[in-house]
Amino acid sequence: MPAPSSFDYAVVRVVPRVEREEFINAGVILYCLTRSFLDARVELDVPRLLALAPDVDVEAVRSHLEALPRICAGGKGAGPIGGLPQKERWHWLVAPRSTLVQTGPVHSGLCEEPAAALEKLMGRMVLARR
């Protein structure tokens, strides 16, 4: 069994009206430097989003969310940010912004397997209300 590694993560939020400061959790981004792991899981609860903001552009939200795992993976399909080193992509992803899709504060943890930790966080932070 490998020794536990530290990781950082941030919850992805959809903020349909920034001025109201209301949001729903829609994903998690997890970065583990020692395992060279950067990935995101996203899942949009459309009925919940529409209850919060009936006039929101759901397809625009989906498009922004679907870009996150591509940016984590890097490469040409991730646009200009995809060409950055993994650590720089992580910092770009979790940088504060006032847009439709934001990340919450960065938190830390320990895990033996980053992919399993990402799934656990996704279940606890995003899927728990379903």
The tens-digit pLDDT sequence of the chain (130 residues) is 678 999 999 999 999 998 888 999 999 999 999 999 999 999 999 999 999 999 999 999 999 999 999 999 999 989 999 999 999 999 999 999 888 999 999 999 999 999 999 999 999 999 976 5
What region does 79 belong to: left with phi over 0, alpha with psi -120 to 50, or beta?
Answer: left
What pLDDT is stored for residue 114 in this prediction? 98
Q: Considering only CA atoms, which of 126, 4, 20 is closest in space to residue 65?
A: 126
* Dist. CA 65–CA 41, nearest whole Å: 9
Q: pTM of this prediction?
A: 0.94
The pLDDT value recorded for residue 1 is 67
* 49 backbone dihedrals φ, ψ, rounded to 5°: -65, -45
